Chains A and B, each alone.
Chain A
Amino acid sequence: MEPIDIPVAGTKVQTSRVFERDPETVRDEDLREAIWELGREGEWIVQPVPEPYYLAPTKFGRQKKIPLEHTWHHKSCGQCGHIPGYSTSIFWLNRLLGFDYFDPRDQTSCTAWNYYASATSNQAAQAAVAMRNFSAAYETGYYPLIHCGTSFGHYKEVRHELVHDAKLRRQVRAIIEKLGRPFVMPEEIVHYSEWMYAVRKQLSERVQFDLSKITATVHPACHYYKLQSGDAIYDPEIYGGQRTAAVTAVVQELGAQVADYSTWYDCCGFGFRHILVQRDFTRSFATLRKIEVMKQEANPDVVLTHDTGCVTSLDKSQFAAQAHGRNVGVPVMSESQFAALAVGAHPFRVCQLHWHAVDYRPLLHKMGIDVERAWAEFEADVEKIKHGEMEYLTWEHVL
């Protein structure tokens, strides 16, 4: 590929035309009224979004309720396995803001990943897993907040099927009743990055470092905004409302620069099923189509995204490309980790960057974080655990 000099214009639109949202002209279904109607007919219990909630604008200008607290955290198998600092950062930010949340142990894997790889059972079984998790949240009194972009997209597809297919609804209801659980549909299906969007101003008030010299590129997750796209967050202030505002709005609010690049819309390489069936393709795509393009066009200090598969693919694929001398080597993390760092979270105790494959230290230095001191503190923790002086790190250690 011949290098092309592109001016990095950030998120500014280059036209004076202004997009006017008109929900009246949109034919994409807004399922929320149907969900309430089915609730009134006794088909299921609707779990309302708890107050206080934030009203966020969606793609077509409808307002989506985002709960601020009393959230039940539907975690991600990929996050917990590959990027534990991802979820920890979300919890840490909740604690920092003084929000009441619930970290459940009663949760099952969402089945979405295998479903996209055509390797999972059947429609009713998948829907039953989603509804089982919703009922588990409801029973605690907390509202489900979905960490994983893949689960989020899949649950919205399940919701669509359940609203439109009475036979499926009855099948799944019978399964949930056999489990002795209530049959519950949440009023909104909410992704954690929407919660990040909702609290961005509160976080920006607590920023500890000058981030104005930090350039980030954003990779929005396909599962977040390309599936059942109507209720993804689109903010008129961000890209003129023409691209999802998730991640970007948070990063800008924190004071960092967001740079554009030409493969913004492309998948990270994870590709719904490619990581399972064509792993080499995933690795090449992640590095050659995404990371190298970002490096060439925007030379970012960090790549930020909001899905487990995206962080994993973009971060860990770079190792192989580096071995071949390619133009890669950009740290990748979730915006929750980046925001946590910005407001003072420990890079290792909280954000657990030592799990990441690409060298993140130049970024931390540039942010103004004393990496060596932080690493020494973390090693001291490990020594204490080794010598039995401490069983494990607790929230008291890290707040």
Chain B
Amino acid sequence: MGKADTVMIVGAGPAGLEAARTVAELGKRAMLIETKDQLGGTPYASYASLTPDLQETEHAMEHMLDAVRNNPAVDVRLNTRVVKSEGNLGAFHVTLESADGAQSVEEVGAIVVATGFQHFDPGRETQMYGYYEYDDVITLVDAEKMFKEGKIVRPSTGLPPERVAFIQCVGSRDRQIGNKYCSKVCCGIASKQSIEIKRMLPNAKVFIFYIDMRMYGFWEDQIYWKAQEEYKVNYIRGIVTEIIRKGDKLLIKGEDTTMGRPMEVLMDLVILSVGMEPSKGTVEMSRIFQIPREDHGFLQVVGGPLDTVSTPVPGIFVAGAAAGPKDIEDSVSMGAAAAAKAVGILNRLTLEV
């Protein structure tokens, strides 16, 4: 098959995997580029289970990985990064670099960028949560790592916590730090994790401090009410402003906006619900492929709500959290949509020739 029959997909997370599979299913060749040494992206590497159904991530995603690994129409390149791109729709000349520094130039007809997000670093601009000061302040991702080992403990002691607090919107919905958007999934993940903690430690008290809970669609029923009614998780409206150490506990200070008063409460473990930002790869691909970034820093799409995957650069599409905060289902849907559009444009190109 020629260059116009190949779609390059950059990033092998849920969106990239689905894009590669779809390209292959539509009869074209997919070249899947991943900088890391394994497929699956951020959820596969970092999350023990998926929101909202609590399926084990490795098990749930295995069929996606297999569909790509064992597919002769998908050329998987691990430990490889895109370093340069020239040409345009129908004939992109993309320079790849492997981990050992060897470079090759690949000619492809269209490109899907699925380079995803990175979690907000809670030490960067919200130092008051003490993530880099206290062991017992962790992030959603740190908690998932513990869940992978089947436990949740206070890192300072190795013992199970009696009182756990989640703090929502860390690095999201915060004009002061410049992230003027909701990261969409953190409310769901925190609620999912609160259920998991209560399953492991039925006697623990779990609190979620929030601005407002954003449980879109079925998540409201699947996890939000379930966490409250079946697992007795306490949802407290009002954001925490500061965490300090008191004795061997953490004192969280903030405001309870339902009660209309300041609060100071002791906790054993605090979990920061860190939001999404464009990954370094996404920023890098914006530069290499000359894709403009929208106001929030993610890759720009041209169709508004009616075309979620076409970028202003003809022949280049975006899928998943590279285009803004996304949950897994949206990422996978976008992967398929981007692949369909990429294949469609190559088909039209072939017909025109």
Contact = CB atoms under 8 A, between A and B. Distances in A.
A118 interface: no
B114 to A, nearest CB: 20
A24 B280 CA distance: 9
Nearest to A236: B132
Contacts of B135: 14-17
A28 B251 contact: no
Given A28-B178, A239-B133, A242-B130, A14 B245 contact: yes
Interface string A22-38: 10111110000000000
A9 B133 CA distance: 11
Interface in B253-294: 277, 280, 283
Contacts of B130: 242
Contact of A15 (B127, B134, B244, B247): B134
B156 interface: yes
Given A5-B247, A265-B242, A19 B177 contact: no
A264 interface: yes
Interface residues of B, number: 28
B348 interface: no
Interface string B123-138: 1110110111111010
Contacts of B178: 27-28
A55 B191 CA distance: 45
A309 to B, nearest CB: 21
A298 to B, nearest CB: 13
Q: Which of B127, B247, B297 has the most CB of A within 10 A?
A: B127
Contacts of A19: 121, 123-124, 132
Given A5-B247, A6-B247, A14-B245, A241 B124 contact: no
Contacts of B244: 262, 264
A242 B125 CA distance: 9
B247 A7 contact: yes
B246 interface: yes
Contacts of B283: 24
Contacts of B155: 15
Size bracket of the A interface: 20 to 34
Interface in A205-260: 239-243
A110 to B, nearest CB: 24
A134 B68 CA distance: 64
A240 B133 contact: yes
A4 B246 contact: yes
Contacts of B124: 19, 22, 25-26, 60
Contacts of A241: 123, 132
A17 B133 CA distance: 8
A13 interface: yes
B118 to A, nearest CB: 8
A9 B245 CA distance: 10
Interface in A53-90: 59-60
A27 B175 CA distance: 11
A221 to B, nearest CB: 16
Contact of B246 (A13, A60, A239, A262): A262
A25 B121 contact: yes
Given A239-B133, A241-B132, A242-B127, A25 B247 contact: no
Contacts of B133: 13-15, 239-240, 242
Contacts of A243: 127
Contacts of B128: 265
A337 to B, nearest CB: 28
B132 A27 contact: no
A17 B132 contact: yes
A18 interface: yes
A27 to B, nearest CB: 3
Contacts of B156: 14
Contact of B297 (A6, A27, A262): A27
Contacts of B297: 27
Contacts of B177: 27-28
Contacts of A14: 133-135, 156, 245
16 contacts: A4-B247, A5-B247, A13-B133, A14-B134, A14-B245, A17-B123, A19-B132, A24-B283, A26-B124, A27-B178, A28-B125, A28-B177, A239-B133, A242-B123, A242-B127, A262-B251
Query: Would you list the 5 A-B pairs with minimal beta carbon distance, nearest first?
Result: A27-B178, A19-B123, A242-B127, A19-B132, A15-B135
Interface of B: 121, 123-125, 127-128, 130-135, 137, 155-156, 177-179, 242, 244-247, 251, 277, 280, 283, 297
